[in-house]
Amino acid sequence: MRRLLFIVRKEFIQIFRNKAILPLITLVPIIQLIVLSYAADNEVRNVQLAIVDQDHSAYSRLLISKIRASDRFILVDAGASVARAKEGMQLGEVDVVLSIPPQFEKDFLRYKSGEIQLLVDAINGQQATVGAGYLSAIIQSFSQEIREDAAPMLAVQKRAGPQIKLEHAYWFNEELNYKHFMAPGIMGELVTILVMLLTAMNIVREREVGTIEQINVTPIRKWQFILGKMIPFLIIGLLLLTIGLTAGKLLFDVPMRGNLIVVFAYCLVNLAAVLGLGLFISNLSDTQQQAMFTTFFFVIIFILMSGLFTPIESMPQWAQWLTVPNPIAHFVNVMRSVLLKGSSFSDVSYNFWVTGILAVVFNFAAVKSYRKVV
C-alpha cells in the first residue's frame, strides 16, 4: 500500500513538473468548451436566399416582407430572373431560390390556388434543407393568412372544416438553446480525450527514456505500477469535469437538472475504461509518437461517432453498433440526459453497465500487455 501511494505521489510530482500538462488540463478545456460550444451550433442562420418575384402583386410583397422579418435568411438580389438566381446557386452564392411566378395573385384569387417554386442547393445539405424547411413554414402561415384574407372575395364561401394544426414544443430545452445542448457533450468528450492522451503517452515515455528498465528489476507488482499510473489521471479527470461543469454553468448557464453525483459516478467509470485503453495503447507502443498516432485514430472515430455532432439514431445500423464500445458516446449521452433531462441513475444505467464492462476489458488488456520481462 505504501508502495502504491509512493508511485502515485511520484506521478503527481512528475505531472506538475511538466510545463505542458498544467495548461493542458486547465486552460485548454475551457477554451475548447467556449470555442466548440459556439461553433458547433446546429442552428441554421444566414441561409442565402434569392427571391425572384415575377408577380409584383400585393400578395407577393406580403410574402417577401414575411420572409424578411425572419432573421434566418440573407436576401441575395437576383432581380427578376430565375436564370440569374440559378447562376448564383452555381457560384455557391445562393442556397435557396424562391420563385414567385407571374399571375400568382390572380391565379390564387381565380382558381383558389397558387404555385410557388423552391429550388434548393443540396450540396450543403443541412443549410439547404433546414433553410427550405423554415421557408415552407413561413409560406404555410402565409397561405393560411391570405386564404382568410381572400375568403370574402372568393366565389364560393369556404366552409370551415376540421383542420389539424401542428404546434411544436421543445422539451428539456425550450428555447432550443444549442449551447445547452452542446456544452455537456463537449465536456464529456474533452475529459475522455485528454485523459486518454495523457495516459497513452505515460508508460511509453518511461520506455522511451529508459526508466522502465530500472523499474522492471524492482519488486513492483504489475497492478501496483498500473494502478499507480491510473489514480493520478483519475483524479485529474474528475478535476477536469469539475472545471468543465463550472465553466459551463458560468459561461452558458447550462441547466443541471439531474443529480451531479450520477454525473461524477459515471465519469469515474468512464475514466476507468478510458485509462485502461490509454495504458493498453501505451504498452503496445515503442515510442511516444506511435502512441500518439494510435490514440489519434481512436479519438477521431470516438468523437465523430459519439453522437456529439451528428445523432447516433441517424447512422446506419452497423455504425450504431460501433458506438456501443465507444466511451465518448456513453459519456455524451449521460451528460445530456442527466444535465438537461434530469435523468436518474436508473435512466442511464445502460451506459453505466456498458462502460463498466469496457473498463474491465480494457484494464485486463492493459495489465496483460504490460510485460516486465522482454
Partner 1 sequence: MKPSIQINQIGKTYGDVMALSDINLEVETGELFGLIGPDGAGKTTLFRILTSLLKPNAGEAWVEGLHTVKDYKKIRRIIGYMPGKFSLYQDLSVAENLTFFATIFGTTIQENYHLIKEIYQQLEPFKNRRAGKLSGGMKQKLALCCALIHEPKVLFLDEPTTGVDAVSRAEFWQMLKRLRERGITIMVSTPYMDEASLCERIALIQGGKILSVDAPEAITNSYQKPLYAVRTADYYRLLNDLRDTDFAERVAPFGEFLHLTTREKMPEQEIKDFLLSRGHSDIRLQPAKPTIEDVFLDLMQTT
Using CB under 8 A, list all residues that contact partner 1: 2-3, 6-7, 10, 13-14, 17-18, 209-220, 372-374
Instruction: Please say which residue, 199 or 343, places its beta carbon nearer to partner 1.
Output: 199
Instruction: Please say which residue, 17 or 165, places its beta carbon nearer to partner 1.
Output: 17
Instruction: Please say which residue, 24 or 322, places its beta carbon nearer to partner 1.
Output: 24
To partner 1, the closest distance from the beta carbon of 70 in angstroms equals 59
DSSP state of 100: E
AA letter at 279: L
Q: Which residue has the cell 465518448?
A: 328
Instruction: Please say which residue, 56 or 222, places its beta carbon nearer to partner 1.
Output: 222
Instruction: Please say which residue, 8 or 138, places its beta carbon nearer to partner 1.
Output: 8
User: Which helix H or strand E contains 284, and what residues bound it?
Assistant: helix 260-284
To partner 1, the closest distance from the beta carbon of 6 in angstroms equals 4
Buried b (16+ CB within 10 A) or exposed e, 9-41: eebeeebeeeeebeeebeeebbebbbebbeebe
> Nearest 10 degrees: CA dihedral of 312, 26, 262, 172?
-50
Rounded Cα distance between 279 and 36, Å, is 28
Beta pairing, strands 96-100 & 73-76: unpaired
Q: Which residue has the cell 488540463?
A: 25
To partner 1, the closest distance from the beta carbon of 373 in angstroms equals 6
To partner 1, the closest distance from the beta carbon of 199 in angstroms equals 17
DSSP state of 103: T
To partner 1, the closest distance from the beta carbon of 207 in angstroms equals 11
CA-to-CA dists, residue 241 to 180, 195, 235, 251, 263, angstroms: 16, 11, 10, 15, 9
Cα separation of the two ends of the chain: 27
Instruction: Please say which residue, 17 or 168, places its beta carbon nearer to partner 1.
Output: 17
Task: Find all residues with CB under 8 Å of 125, minimum gap 6, and list them.
Answer: none
Instruction: Please say which residue, 216 or 320, places its beta carbon nearer to partner 1.
Output: 216
To partner 1, the closest distance from the beta carbon of 209 in angstroms equals 7
Rounded Cα distance between 229 and 224, Å, is 8
To partner 1, the closest distance from the beta carbon of 224 in angstroms equals 9
Instruction: Please say which residue, 13 or 261, places its beta carbon nearer to partner 1.
Output: 13
To partner 1, the closest distance from the beta carbon of 287 in angstroms equals 15
